């Protein structure tokens, strides 16, 4: 069974300072259907060791919620037309001098289909420092 939506998360290391690393996270969403999908929510959790800079590349998140697991970025996309692809991105800086690796959780897209909420997760990432 082919997924209706494909979501992929990538990470680019921009530069390293004395004790921090600046990264750019990109979330790629593609509608594999020829019909439109409505009321999508894209959710990405940024761990506490990483701080978003507020520099969002294409679309700003509708909500930014601080919680126990980290900062939750939520983008609301009213319509994703058939075969349309969107890329959401943001820059972030590590808060502390991290040695080794930092695990970044998967992003997720949620939408309604036939009275069910469907959740599709992306890949999770490891930042090696």
Residue-wise pLDDT tens digits, 80-123: 999 999 999 999 998 777 667 888 999 999 998 888 999 999 99
What is the model's pLDDT at position 62? 97
Q: Where are the chain's structural domains? A: 5-123
Burial 24-42 (b: 16+ CB within 10 A, else e): bbbbbbbbebeeebeebbb
Residue 2: pLDDT band (50, 70, 90) is low
Q: What is the pLDDT of residue 118?
A: 92
Domain 5-123 = CATH 3.40.50.300: no
pLDDT in tens, 114-125: 889 999 999 999
């Amino acid at each position: 069974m082919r997924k209706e939506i494909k979501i992929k998360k990538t990470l680019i290391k921009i530069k390293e300072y004395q004790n921090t690393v600046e990264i750019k996270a990109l979330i790629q969403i593609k509608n594999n259907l020829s019909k439109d999908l409505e009321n999508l929510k894209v959710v990405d959790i940024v761990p506490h060791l990483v701080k978003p800079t507020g520099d969002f590349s294409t679309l700003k998140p509708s909500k930014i919620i601080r919680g126990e697991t980290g900062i939750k970025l939520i983008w609301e996309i009213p319509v994703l037309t058939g075969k349309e692809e969107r890329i959401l991105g943001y820059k972030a800086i590590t808060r502390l001098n991290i040695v080794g690796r930092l695990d970044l959780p998967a992003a997720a897209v949620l939408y309604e289909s036939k009275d069910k909420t469907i959740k599709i997760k992306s890949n999770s990432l490891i930042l090696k420092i």
